[in-house]
Amino acid sequence: MRRKLVVGNWKMHGNRASNAELLAGILGARPFACDVGVCVPFVYVADTAVSLATSEIRWGAQDVSAQEQGAFTGEVSAAMLRELGCRYAIVGHSERRAHHAEGDQLVADKAKAALGHGLTPIVCVGETLEQREAGQTEVVVKRQLSAVIHALGHCAGEMVVAYEPVWAIGTGRTATPEQAQAVHAVLRAQLRAATSQADTMKILYGGSVKPDNAARLFAQADIDGGLIGGAALKASDFVTICRAAG
Ligand code: 13P
């Protein structure tokens, strides 16, 4: 039985006061029966590290540079994140693929850089509505995951995968548990072909996970938890989702 994992992706939200309140709400609800993490804006990683230092709640960033160090203005390296105690770095989120033109190879390089410094990359894959309607869902997610599997080689088993259908993100239109499970099964099969660790790897679902739909999603055989956007910004909602994973 895989232990479930629920990670909040705060995206570009929050301020010091609201973050402190949110983290206090999460800390106050412990213990959880699943693993819990928050991926915060870069500038709040240090504060978050202080707030969560003595807890088992994990923290991370929403992106990471593929580069080690050097003249890369605006970039943040995996080593820097690790120094601040980050456990996770999200890579390949659809918002970065769409708004920052990140392609499969760059996402794979970022995952590799993260892993190289002891961070667990949370690798996001997912199809657009247009791709789904054209029957391309499998092809798209397999292509996205394949680039990362190839880059990580024998370490592929160490990543966390997140299936996030683009059409379900921030739209309130969740994939049905069956739709999500079908894609998760495809991803699990692809991982099995690549690594002997596939059955212990976590595949998260993301896209309009809310307190009222989380339990049904998490009950699916290959859904090992969630990557939560909007509902991760309110402690009571996020905590309810974490409980649904327990
Ligand atoms: P929402 O939960 O707001 O749909 O966002 C999902 C997401 O993008 C998490 O990374």
> Which burial class, exposed, middle or buried, applies to 142 when counting CB atoms under 10 A from its CB (0-12, 13-18, 19+)?
middle
**Could you identify the atom of ligand 1 that is nearest to the CA of residue 210?**
2
Break the chain into its structural domains and give their ranges: 5-12+16-47+56-65+75-245
Give CA–CA dist 224/205, Å, rounded. 8
CA atoms within 13 Å, Cβ hemisphere of 240: 12
Which residues have a Cβ under 8 Å from the Cβ of 159 and sit 6 or more positions away?
111, 115, 120, 121, 122, 123, 148, 152, 201
Give CA–CA dist 126/165, Å, rounded. 4
C-beta separation of 184 from 199 below 8 A: no
* This model's pTM is above 0.95: yes
Give CA–CA dist 170/6, Å, rounded. 17
Superfamily name and number for 5-12+16-47+56-65+75-245: Aldolase class I (3.20.20.70)
Tokens read off for 147: 């680039």
Is 232 near ligand 1, meaning CB less than 6 Å away?
Answer: no
For the annotated catalytic residues, the residue numbers are: 93, 164
Give CA–CA dist 37/56, Å, rounded. 9
Written as one letter, the residue type at 51 is S
- Residue having the nearest C-alpha atom to atom 1 of ligand 1: 229
Ordered per-residue pLDDT tens for the chain, 246 residues: 799 999 999 999 999 999 999 999 999 999 999 999 999 999 999 999 999 999 999 999 999 999 999 999 999 999 999 999 999 999 999 999 999 999 999 999 999 999 999 999 999 999 999 999 999 999 999 999 999 999 999 999 999 999 999 999 989 888 999 999 999 999 999 999 999 999 999 999 999 999 999 999 999 999 999 999 999 999 999 999 999 998
